[in-house]
Structure 1
Amino acid sequence: MRLSITCALALALAAAPAMAQDKGGKDDKQAPAEKVVPQVHTTRLSGVFGGQKVNYGATIGETILSAEDGTQKAAIVTIAYVKEGRDPSRPVTFLFNGGPGSGTVWLQMGAFGPKRVAIPSDARDDGGPPYPLLDNPDSLLDVTDLVFIDPPGTGFSRLIGKTDPKEFYGVTADAKSVAEVIRRWLNENGRWNSPKYLGGESYGTTRSAAVVNQLEGSTYNDVGLNGIILISTVLDFAAGADTPGNELSYITNLPSMAAVALYHGKAEAPSVEQFTQEARAFAIGPYAAALLKGQNLGAEERASVRSRLAHFTGLSEAFLDRADLRVTPDRFWKELLRDRGLTVGRLDSRYTGKDYDSAGENIDNDPSFYGIDAGYTAAVNAWERDGLGFKTDREYQSISQLIPSWDWNLAGGRDTNAYLNVTPYIGRALRENSGLRVFVGQGYYDFATPFFAAEYALSRTGIPQDRVEFHYYHAGHMMYVRDEDRAKLTRDIRQFIRSR
């Protein structure tokens, strides 16, 4: 996804060997590998962003990553929006989505790019095409250049020839490739001394931490950053692991359940801010103590906790008792509005869906995903193919079906069997770079990356709290689908960048 106007990186594609058998059964010589020249297209555009008119170049192109012997390994597509009139001191922000396996369609076409797709803001589904592609006055181009990166297997990016997927599909391998693309973009564009920001959403926040470790903490240790922008954060995977025996996820999910219950009229409180704060205190206090006691929990304490749990979740005490005070998110999505014959969404629980029937324990599908995916996919294809001139017969991978098993182990970790936690990477970067700050944006109605789990991860030992700031939004995982929250999110990030 990332490339700038002059970014033309050459190297070769390892095409599948063409082997032919002659009549005697002997192999002919292997055909030489095809040399591939990466696509690079620049379009000159202008727009009004943050109230300022900006003339900019939009460059879409491929960065080819190669082995030391020159064998091409991967083609990574980048899209760079750069203000015209070269200014080496202007900030630049590198952005990617998550998954792993998600293209940057969401952040680019929903929040920060110069164009956005118009879908309903009030948690209704996006319906059928055409989906309007609008100018996006909320884009951050008034305060920073933007470089969107699609790692291999996402968007139009791909592995080349016989490249082993293990070379790219894993926490550390992925971070190394993204870090290399960033360094090469800085080289090609003369931007080494520019203020630099990383921004990721969902698994993209995990990637941000891993990339920071590559840029500042290990492999390169030479790219100083000014900020990390975490949107819908997941850093400590134990905090959200809904597996038997892990009590932590029940604690971190409870404030999100409270927010959703209040939104749908299953609870009463003056505001979501007040109600979720009360839920945090209950979750980390009486509820956590009860869960940790396990089967040693006394009847009186159990009854008290069950009553308060019903108050916050909107679920009946009878249901909570049958669940042994432990309600997984998937059960909550099905149970909360069962009396209305509706389910609530995972990515954004403002959305409701209607299942085949109301008798099941789990939802049929996530209404907050199928409610937006068609519009975003249509928009990114129209914009990158027709608007920016990228020519390919490949299918754009919004949520990739191409990526095999992901390697979740951290290279050099003390225990490769431990759960994934990349938060210490951020802590180390903050301790070793006094100019680094962290922006955290969380939606109240997000169950994919609950806000209390993000707060838990970033409040651990070793993380300077005075340079981590939290911002909250009245939507879900992609909070920018709600018009008011897109405007607030971009205002908040503008202020974050300006206050460096």
Structure 2
Amino acid sequence: MKTLGAALAVASLSAGAFAQDAGKKDEIAGPEAGDPARFETSDTARVNGESISYDVVAGETFLLNDKDQPNASVFSFSYLKKNVADPSQRPVMFVFNGGPGSASLWLHMGVIGPKRVDVATDSPTDDGAPPYPVINNEYSLLDVADLVFIDPVGTGYSRPLEDGKGEDHWGVDEDAASVGRFIRRWLTENERWASPKYLAGESYGTTRAAALVSELNDRYNDVAFNGVILISAILDFEAARGALGYAGLMPTQAAIAWYHNRVDRSAWNNDFDAFIADARAFASDELVPALIKGQGLSADEEAAVVSEFASFTGVSEDYADRANLRVGVGRYMKELLRDQGLTVGRYDGRYTGEEEDGVGETAEADPSGYAMDAAFTAAMNDYMTRQLGVKMDRDYTVLSYDVNMKWKSVDGGGSGGPGYTNVVPGLARGMRENKDMRVMLASGYYDQATPFYAAELSLQAPGVPMDRVVKTYYPAGHMMYLDLGSLEQLSEDMRAFVQGE
């Protein structure tokens, strides 16, 4: 089973999911620092109808300990537009993916960077075998901002050095401090403290982005951000469990059922938006109370909720009733199209796959995960070596299980993922203390890993300035940029956000 999923969303991580690596031990010390690797080149891209000449700097930045000795190396890719008269007016965007334990190649080669792997299609399609063309990315954001793609310690080519340890960087707070130090160093070395600044993260990268807002908005050494782009967001992990977790997930399952024509569309006059609005209302107004009441529901109340749940999600009333209305991701992947011998995707419910076991309770693998991971891995390595001239003596780590297994939550949750981490309060405080900072929430309707309604509920918490939250939605999944129409729309939405439109 391929494991792209863990690179993109941590919401379902568990110790069991990574048991094969549980016995690994972190290195006592990293290698000697030596000189930081640095590779420079130049290129031209056609972006949004504009020809842009730019410099590329790919290389290591050493993080120093309290003795001014290097204890970690962060590898990054910077794309800087040439001939900018006043850099203080030119925005810079810091970009990363999630995992935790993932490198930044997904956003780098999928939507934001000046080159992309040519896999976006009009309908769900497996990436197959190579070659995977790396082409000019007309949807890049290089026309409106300089771009810095960050691979946190333990991912990509980034690693601990000398007496540094991975665990010093592998946790919600530790990671924010580590990446925050890199951002401060980059701003200083590139003389960009006065530039407008943006963060863009995907999946756990949205958790990191919110944590960075808090980390960098403290101790009178502030880095004030103009905006934060949250792509496929997971912010409050406690809300991803229990009654709120099922409620946050259910509208996504409804969208998937609609896509596969497993609901009566005529009941909503074939109006998807009206259907989703009703699904949201049912989830919060009826499903949550029913889950909380449990056996306290009367027979009539239970029957009514079960019937409506089935009408939205496409599973039978009998199945919904026997599951006690708790149809989690794995169950839903297996059950929705069981009569056709198919499973639906976790990261994108439009994808389907066949499995050997047709009667199991949960899916063996994620059809939307194994459908694209080979293309991104091959394209990133090919692009670095042949186009950027990056020559390193070690492998580029796309996804590190070691990082993931040892990740610490803010409350010491350990290898089960970030536990009950909730980064919304820090993000909200950052917005309240910076009147100009805005947030863009970008969600795919068919993403069960980081469901759109769960993200909405998280940002509806007290203290969040809702008038500065922009919400955008796409008829795709977790990596909505794999859908060609959604790729184009996401690019337009992010560009408008950076331009303040």
Tell me, yes or no, if the aligned pair for 2:243 and 2:292 is still in contact at 8 Å: yes
Give 2:132's aligned residue: 131
**What amino acid sits opposite 2:174 in the alignment?**
A
Greater RCO, 1 or 2 (C-alpha within 8 Å, sep 6+) = 2
> 2:49 aligned with 1:56, yes or no?
no
Secondary structure of the residue that 1:455 maps to in structure 2? Answer: helix
Q: What's the RMSD between the two structures over aligned residues?
A: 1.8
In the alignment, the residues of structure 2 paired with residue 120 and residue 172 of structure 1 have an alpha-carbon distance, to the nearest angstrom, of 35
> Structure 1 residues 113 and 17, CA, compared in 2 at 3 Å: closer, same or farther?
closer
Q: CA deviation at 1:41?
A: 1.3
1:367-446 mapped onto 2 (5 Å cutoff): 367-403=367-403, 404-409=405-410, 419-446=420-447
In the alignment, the residues of structure 2 paired with residue 17 and residue 472 of structure 1 have an alpha-carbon distance, to the nearest angstrom, of 45
**What amino acid sits opposite 1:331 in the alignment?**
R
1:161-310 mapped onto 2 (5 Å cutoff): 161-216=162-217, 218-219=218-219, 221-241=221-241, 246-269=242-265, 270-310=270-310
Give 2:357's aligned residue: 357
Q: CA deviation at 1:410?
A: 5.4
Tell me, yes or no, if the aligned pair for 1:39 and 1:390 is still in contact at 8 Å: no
In the alignment, the residues of structure 2 paired with residue 126 and residue 268 of structure 1 have an alpha-carbon distance, to the nearest angstrom, of 32
Give 1:471's aligned residue: 472
Question: TM-score if structure 2 supplies the norm length?
Answer: 0.89
**What amino acid sits opposite 1:38 in the alignment?**
P
Secondary structure of the residue that 1:247 maps to in structure 2? Answer: helix
Tell me, yes or no, if the aligned pair for 1:16 and 1:161 is still in contact at 8 Å: no
Q: CA deviation at 1:220?
A: 5.6
Give 2:68's aligned residue: 70
In the alignment, the residues of structure 1 paired with residue 325 and residue 215 of structure 2 have an alpha-carbon distance, to the nearest angstrom, of 42
Q: CA deviation at 1:402?
A: 3.3
Query: Which structure would you say has the larger Rg?
Result: 1
In the alignment, the residues of structure 2 paired with residue 53 and residue 398 of structure 1 have an alpha-carbon distance, to the nearest angstrom, of 31
Q: CA deviation at 1:50?
A: 1.2
Q: CA deviation at 1:162?
A: 4.2
Secondary structure of the residue that 1:156 maps to in structure 2? Answer: coil
Tell me, yes or no, if the aligned pair for 1:333 and 1:344 is still in contact at 8 Å: yes
In the alignment, the residues of structure 1 paired with residue 55 and residue 490 of structure 2 have an alpha-carbon distance, to the nearest angstrom, of 24
Q: CA deviation at 1:232?
A: 0.3
Secondary structure of the residue that 1:363 maps to in structure 2? Answer: coil
Q: CA deviation at 1:393?
A: 2.6
> Structure 1 residues 73 and 17, CA, compared in 2 at 3 Å: closer, same or farther?
closer
Provide Cα deviations, 1:78-109, integer angstroms capped at 9, x if missing partner. 10111001422100100000000111110000
Q: CA deviation at 1:161?
A: 3.4
**Structure 2 unaligned spans of 5+:** 1-26, 413-417
In the alignment, the residues of structure 2 paired with residue 253 and residue 418 of structure 1 have an alpha-carbon distance, to the nearest angstrom, of 18
Q: CA deviation at 1:272?
A: 2.9
Provide Cα deviations, 1:464-483, integer angstroms capped at 9, x if missing partner. 11000100001000000111
Tell me, yes or no, if the aligned pair for 2:238 and 2:419 is still in contact at 8 Å: no
Give 1:26's aligned residue: none
Provide Cα deviations, 1:442-488, integer angstroms capped at 9, x if missing partner. 00000110000000000010001100010000100000011111110
How many residues are treated as equivalent by the alignment?
A: 462
**Structure 1 unaligned spans of 5+:** 1-14, 19-32, 412-416
Q: CA deviation at 1:34?
A: 4.3
Question: TM-score if structure 1 supplies the norm length?
Answer: 0.90
> Structure 1 residues 110 and 120, CA, compared in 2 at 3 Å: closer, same or farther?
closer
Q: CA deviation at 1:71?
A: 2.9
In the alignment, the residues of structure 2 paired with residue 324 and residue 268 of structure 1 have an alpha-carbon distance, to the nearest angstrom, of 23
Larger mean CA deviation between 111-120 and 309-318 belongs to: 111-120
Tell me, yes or no, if the aligned pair for 2:116 and 2:135 is still in contact at 8 Å: yes
Provide Cα deviations, 1:301-360, integer angstroms capped at 9, x if missing partner. 111111101100100011111111221111000000000000011111111111112110
Provide Cα deviations, 1:390-427, integer angstroms capped at 9, x if missing partner. 1113222222133141111259xxxxx98210000111
